[in-house]
Amino acid sequence: MKLPLSKYVWFDGKYVPTEKAQVPITTHAIHYGTSIFEGIRAYWNGKNLHVFRLDEHVKRFRRSGQFYDISLNFSDKVISDAITGICRKNKIKKSCYIRPFYFVGDYGINLHVTKKAPTNVAIFTFLFGDLFNKNGISAGVVSWRKFSDKSTPTQAKMGGNYLNSIIATQEAKRNGVDEAILLDHNGNVSEAPGENIFIVKDGQLLTPSLSSSALEGITRDAVIKIATDLDIDVVERKIKRSELVVSDEIFLTGTAAEITPIISMDSKKIGNGKPGIITKKMMQEYTNIVMNKNNNYSHWLTSVY
């Protein structure tokens, strides 16, 4: 899928035309996946463009590299300013997706990556709507398992880690469903290739604990906070695969996916085959927040203009 990229990108501290942001074929990240990324959304509400949970994204951006001693050689403020700045530079006044990433650069084929290894940082953006059908999607558990902390840090958003997501997605598509669900190495529900998962059972909201190799998602955290404020009981625990198909509702959360209902799981209809009451409530609350219509969460938004 070719992205409709903006005219300018931010590359190592400067705004440059997209076609000028190039790296050599000896870039370490191309060979070994030594790249760190974030996915961030900004929402246009007719008056201003607001970046959702910018501070949290930037903090995780730096923390992911620290797992591997890969240096982000710019301050959090510089990165934050660059994220809002790339939107202004491209005069974006529609909802968009922002992708900041940094990676080990021209470092040969040496596997001994240290804090002194050269890194590059880039940020690009493009207009973006719904990733999935908000009326609901189908999903199925795949045979591939989510990797665990026994093999590589599960809380690092590293490029190489997402080969696991790619092969799971490929299987799901071959099976004729919209999205994959991965189990952890113990056979418990972990997450989707790029999203966290929640189930609703008897009015209670359940999500896999981080010990199930689930990413500590920023949208996941937002949903937990929103639900708690709405007096919805939220429990983080191990979830058995069998609990999926007998749940009342299921939805995914993620920056790209936002809140997406699952209405069919492993070829079985969930609930009445439509987004459930709690799912729709969370979707509406989330939309109001990102559109700056809920003052209780305005601190989650950073204005671009």
Secondary structure (H, E, C), 224-239: HHHHHHCCCCEEEECC
**The pair of three-digit structure tokens given for residue 177, joined into one six-digit string:** 């469903």
Residue 260: partners with Cβ closer than 8 Å, 6 or more residues away? 131, 132, 133, 134, 136, 137, 195, 251, 252, 253
pLDDT at 107 over 90: yes
- Which positions are annotated as active-site residues? 157
- pLDDT tens digit sequence for 113-166: 999 999 999 999 999 999 999 999 999 999 999 999 999 999 999 999 999 999
In the predicted model, what is the mean pLDDT of the chain?
97
- pLDDT tens digit sequence for 57-91: 999 999 999 999 999 999 999 999 999 999 999 99
On whether the CB atoms of residues 17 and 29 are closer than 8 A, the answer is: no
pLDDT at 4 over 80: no
Written out in words, the top-level CATH class of the domain with range 8-127 is alpha beta
- pLDDT tens digit sequence for 197-248: 999 999 999 999 999 999 999 999 999 999 999 999 999 999 999 999 999 9
User: What is residue 273's DSSP assignment?
Assistant: S
* 183, amino acid identity: L
Domain range list for the chain: 8-127, 137-290
CA–CA separation, 303 and 19 (whole Å): 28
Would you put residue 108 in left (φ > 0), alpha (ψ -120 to 50) or beta? left
In 73-220, beta strands by DSSP E: 96-104, 119-127, 137-145, 179-183, 189-191, 196-201, 204-208
User: What stretches of 90-135 show up as alpha helix (H) in DSSP?
Assistant: none
pLDDT of residue 3: 74
Task: Provide the pLDDT confidence category of residue 111 given band limits of 50, 70 and 90.
Answer: very high
- Continuous segment of H or E residues that includes residue 163: helix 163-174
The pairs formed by 78-84 with CB atoms below 8 angstroms and a separation of 24 or more are 78/13, 79/121, 79/123, 80/54, 80/55, 80/302, 82/10, 82/123, 83/40, 83/51, 83/54, 83/58, 83/123, 84/51, 84/54, 84/302, 84/304
pLDDT of residue 5: 82
Least confidently predicted of 1-5, 21-25, 95-99, 191-195: 1-5
On whether the CB atoms of residues 255 and 40 are closer than 8 A, the answer is: yes
Give me the residues paired with residue 181 across strands: 141
CA–CA separation, 260 and 135 (whole Å): 8
Helix 76-89 to helix 54-66 angle (10° resolution) is 130
Q: Supply the CATH classification number for the domain 137-290.
A: 3.20.10.10
Q: Read off φ and ψ for residue 29, nearest 5 degrees.
A: -65, -30
Task: Provide the pLDDT confidence category of residue 1 given band limits of 50, 70 and 90.
Answer: low
Place of tokens 């999926």: 244
Would you put residue 92 in left (φ > 0), alpha (ψ -120 to 50) or beta? beta
